[in-house]
Structure 1
Amino acid sequence: MTTIGILGSGQVGRTLARAAVVHGYDVVISNSRGPHTLSPLIHDLGPRARAAHAHDAAASGDLVVLAFPYAPTDRLPAEALAGKVVVDTNNYMAWRDGAITAVETGAKTIHELRQEMLPNAKVVKAFTHVQHHPPTGLGPEDVPDALPGLFRLARPRGAWDRRALAVSSDYPEAVELVSALYDELGYDAVDNSPLSESWRSAPGTPMWRHHVDGQTRAQLVANLQHAVHPSRSHRSPS
């Protein structure tokens, strides 16, 4: 893997683009407004990055990142994504995106719905519980630590305080690829597959309480196991 395509240039897309460039990857990034609007970002990222339309970014990436929320009406470059590992960084937030009945009832996870939207791609939920923006409420004394969580929490392999990130997919090869990328960026991986189990790392679950400062691999494993499925959490006490 040498090139990462990124669809979306908000905080998630920009932060992952910076991380990829730092670690020697080429980046092709797109947004909904057109490549010309990304000139300042590309200048900042340097020669390893270029802007493109969504189809070109999808076609160019050995791995492709979807850095925007899910919507049932999304029109994605499905042909360009066919056969590729597609990282879905989205978290389901009904207050932001509107309620989706299948997710609210626990019948489907938001990432299963994305997989259905891209039946020939290998969708993997990743990078969803690490912050892609600096911590809020910083004073001048905190400026040295004013980095997005993805950078601030990274640790070398074997460090006693290394954090872990969950990864979920219906494709073992996608889990393997993303786990290797996690390791390269400074994180252990916890396989929380398949996509039907990805609700365990959704906002509001036990592991989510640690998304600001992270958690070790053992802590993440335990927190994933302690999650309560939405279909049960919505029941009234008997």
Structure 2
Amino acid sequence: MKIGIIGVGQIGSTLIRQYAKAGHKIKFTNASGIEKLNALEKETGTKAVSLIEVVEDINVLVVSIPFIEIPNLAKQLCKRIATDTIIIDTTNYYPIRDGKISEVENGIFESIWVSNQLERPVIKVYNSILAGSLLKEGLPKGSKNRIALPISGESEKSKQIVASLVNDSGFDAVDIGDLSNSWKQQPGSPIYCTDLTIPELKNNFDRVQRNILALKRELALQFILKQEFTNWMNWYKDCVTNNRVVYETLLNN
């Protein structure tokens, strides 16, 4: 499969490595300049290209950039993305980083906002796993404790294709419905960054309460901000544990 990836941060760079290892043809780009990406090209056998080139002649486009940068990306690219390209949205809205976006604050679901900005359908996935878990916790298909990732979107065919990519990453995919359900995988949900198996994810999906999402999101972020992390790869398990505790505490109060 031919895949373009916009954003080479912790999630994007991990997906580049995983998809390349699975045999997909990958090209990618980054806001900081592709001249800084030579090492990743050599390591993975992939290609760093310009923003315009990354959307050309691909089957799937992965958007893995800060949420606040989506409108700027849309201005540059939305007319250039082919209508049959599947777009994966990995983004999350964090007001502490992005500032407050009135439409989202007033109730529009995050991925619907992204879809509206890009003027294309999107498939929401990979937003609900920490980069450390994505890199270190993948397991072969059929493994007993394999982590499952929620996936939402309108097109059943597109979700099936994206689910196969999730499998290539070392994880199971659980279809939670269309984008009207995507809020259940947003920050603050008990299926967000809690590293659950398929049965556990399905159980927690039924327990999501929208009225406490924002509060839980902020509590989880405060935990991260208070830590003195020297290497993000060494603290992701603490964050997973904290996410589980925070949500259970709120449900029981």
What range describes the TM-score normalised by the shorter chain of this pair?
0.7 to 0.9
Q: Deviations over 1:121-160 (max 9, x none)?
A: 331111112222xxxxxxxxxxxxxxx3123221222221
Contact 2:130 2:193 in 1 (8 A): no
Aligned counterpart, 1:200: 184
How far the C-alpha of 1:208 sits from its partner, in A, is 2.3
For 1:88, the equivalent position in structure 2 comes to 89
**Structure 1 unaligned spans of 5+:** 133-147
State TM-score, norm by structure 2.
0.77
Query: Could you say what secondary structure the match of 2:174 adopts?
Result: strand
Q: Alignment identity in percent?
A: 27
Aligned amino acid, residue 172 of structure 1: E
Q: 1:153 to 1:232 in 2, by over 3 A?
A: closer
1:1-238 correspondence to structure 2 within 5 Å? 2-46=1-45, 49-71=46-68, 73-76=71-74, 77-83=77-83, 84-106=85-107, 108-119=108-119, 121-132=120-131, 148-208=132-192, 210=194, 214-230=195-211
Asked whether the equivalents of residues 188 and 213 of structure 2 are also in contact (C-alpha less than 8 Å), the reply is no
Q: Displacement, 1:67?
A: 0.9
Aligned residue-pair number: 211
Q: Counterparts of 2:91 and 2:125 in 1: how far apart (Å)?
A: 8
Cα separation, 2, equivalents of 1:40 and 1:151: 18
2:55 and 2:80 in contact (8 A); partners too: yes
User: C-alpha distance in 1, partners of 2:15/2:32?
Assistant: 19
Letter in 2 for 1:30: T
SS in 2 for 1:29: strand
| SS state at 2:4 partner | strand
Judged with a 3 Å threshold, the aligned counterparts in structure 2 of structure 1 residues 209 and 129 are, in CA distance, closer, same or farther, namely closer
- Distance across 2 between alignment mates of 1:20 and 1:155: 14
Provide the rounded CA distance (Å) in 1 between the counterparts of 2:169 and 2:193: 22
TM superposition score normalised by structure 1: 0.81
Letter in 2 for 1:115: S
1:12-43 deviation digits (Å, cap 9, x = unpaired): 11111011111111110101233222222212
Q: Distance in 2 between matches of 1:185 and 1:23?
A: 8
Asked if the contact 2:187–2:214 (Cα under 8 Å) also holds between the matched residues in 1, the reply is no
Distance apart, 1:64 and its partner CA: 0.6
Partner Cα separation in structure 1 for residue 146 and residue 167 of structure 2: 10
User: How much does 1:231 deviate?
Assistant: 8.8
Query: What code does the residue aligned with 2:91 have?
Result: N
Distance (whole Å) between structure 2 residues aligned to residue 162 and residue 231 of structure 1: 28
Q: CA deviation at 1:209?
A: 5.5
Whole-angstrom distance in 1 between the partners of 2:146 and 2:7: 28
